[in-house]
Chain A
Amino acid sequence: MAVIRVDARGMACPGPISALTKAYRKAKNGDILEVLATDPGFKPDVQAWVKRTGNELTELTEEKDYIKASIKVTAKKT
């Protein structure tokens, strides 16, 4: 179990979801993915991503100049 930090601030294209996907490939169930992003599209995108993949969104907050999402990995097939 590990906390994996993904700093995607400043990334617009291909975007923070791509950075999240890259980290998710290597993650294991129980890991926490903490993603920081500035792209405003990230909020709806990460919500859609969690819904589709069946992982758990434990936090989605807007800080002063970035968005932070924490995802608990639960849906990886082993």
Chain B
Amino acid sequence: MKKVVILGGGGGGAILANLLPKDEFDVTVIDKKENHVFLPGNLFIAFMGHKKERYMKPLKELLKPHIKFLHDEIISLDLNERKIKTKGKEIEYDYVAIATGAHLDYDAISGNTELLNKFGDYYSGPENAAKLHNTLMGMKEGNFVIAVADPIYMCPPAPQKGAFLSSKFFAKRGLKEKVKVILALPFPHAYSSKVISDIIEPELRKEGIEVHTFFTVDSIDTKNKKIFSVEGEEINYEVAVVIPIHEGPEYEVKPAEVKDDSNYIKIDKYTSKVEGFDDAYAIGDCTNAPTSKSGVTAHLQAETVASRLQGFDAKYSGRTNCPLLTNGTGLFIISDYDHPPVPVKLSKFKRLMEDLFVATYWDAIRYPELWEPIFKAYFEATNPEVLGKEGW
């Protein structure tokens, strides 16, 4: 039996654990949280008032019965000694997979922690998303600002999604004339890629959403309700969400060189192997792979690592698939290492498929082997190479 320890039971870690055959692997998952969270649900909690319980499930129930779950916080990982320290234990391994996601550093921007505690947000978790919903329910007028502190963050279209959904929310409450939704982004356009931007800019205009480009949050003055940008501008807010600076694991990893400037774990972008190690992998949002930080990435890297641990030469193409729901329908943003983002406009039918995906999420985590052929067929049909520039 090969002893595999998986650090983190989020989208990437849980799928990897469930994909490893029990007759070959002795698998342990360590997570500091008891509940696995479906992060995209934050949007529905915050802007549509969904119950947060819908998007959380005990991790223990999502893992197959033979998998050991250790509910504890990881303090350090020593790749040379093959040792993991948690608050309560020391564990050794044959193989390790780092899947602890992105660390959200609210303290890096002055005023951001205060903002989070006051209003809530839709990045840190379902509790804060519910808090944001309450905040928005109490809002009567002024600017609702969604701003970004750093160009690298989870789910690139999430700020725009938040803007569309909140605009709809205020319209429903009859506040369209009183509340202005403002989207402030570090990019030259309304989305990091120009092609996608060209599609959503008219939609944003139609919704009356004001977009500030070249606006990367530098600091927040919570007393005077102002956000300042690195580029030298400012925006007034009544309520604001500032998507925090993302980083790799906060806990110590030895040797220190495997982390980059932002603490991300340096990996080979195709095999997910940690640089310099044959028995260590990293998947999902905690790595420096030059692709979007998305659940799809975490999922596909988990499949790659599961195959590699079983002796196959699997590789990950860098494929991403981020939905951007505008008002009626929306689009998928598809890309990989070799192709810039391709927009795929969603018909009502494809939009239904997106909703279906949300509905099947828990099942896909629990039984990834059953869903693999379905996802595979979809990914082949929508390969950016096949799509060309036209979209699906």
Contacts and interface: CB of A to CB of B under 8 A. Distances in A.
Interface residues of B, number: 22
Contacts of A17: 151, 186-188, 214
Nearest to B261: A22
A21 B216 contact: yes
B193 interface: yes
Contacts of A45: 188
B152 interface: yes
B151 A14 contact: yes
Nearest to A39: B340
A48 B231 CA distance: 12
Given A18-B151, A22-B151, A49-B214, A12 B340 contact: yes
Majority SS at the chain B contact face: loop
Contacts of B232: 53-54, 75-77
A52 interface: yes
B230 A13 contact: no
A44 B295 CA distance: 33
Interface in B164-212: 186-188, 192-194
A53 B214 contact: yes
Interface of B: 150-152, 156, 186-188, 192-194, 213-214, 216, 218, 230-232, 290, 292, 335, 340-341
A45 B213 CA distance: 11
B290 A11 contact: yes
A13 B192 contact: yes
Given A14-B152, A18-B152, A21-B216, A49 B230 contact: no
B191 to A, nearest CB: 9
A21 B186 contact: yes
Given A11-B290, A14-B193, A18-B187, 20 more contacts: A13-B156, A13-B193, A13-B292, A13-B341, A14-B152, A14-B192, A15-B187, A15-B192, A17-B151, A18-B151, A18-B186, A21-B186, A21-B231, A24-B231, A25-B230, A49-B188, A52-B213, A53-B214, A53-B231, A76-B232
Nearest to A51: B214
Contact of A18 (B192, B292, B335): B192
A41 interface: yes
Nearest to A11: B290
A48 B188 CA distance: 8
20 contacts: A10-B290, A13-B292, A13-B335, A14-B152, A14-B193, A15-B187, A17-B151, A21-B151, A21-B186, A21-B216, A22-B151, A25-B216, A25-B230, A49-B231, A52-B214, A52-B231, A53-B232, A54-B232, A75-B232, A77-B232
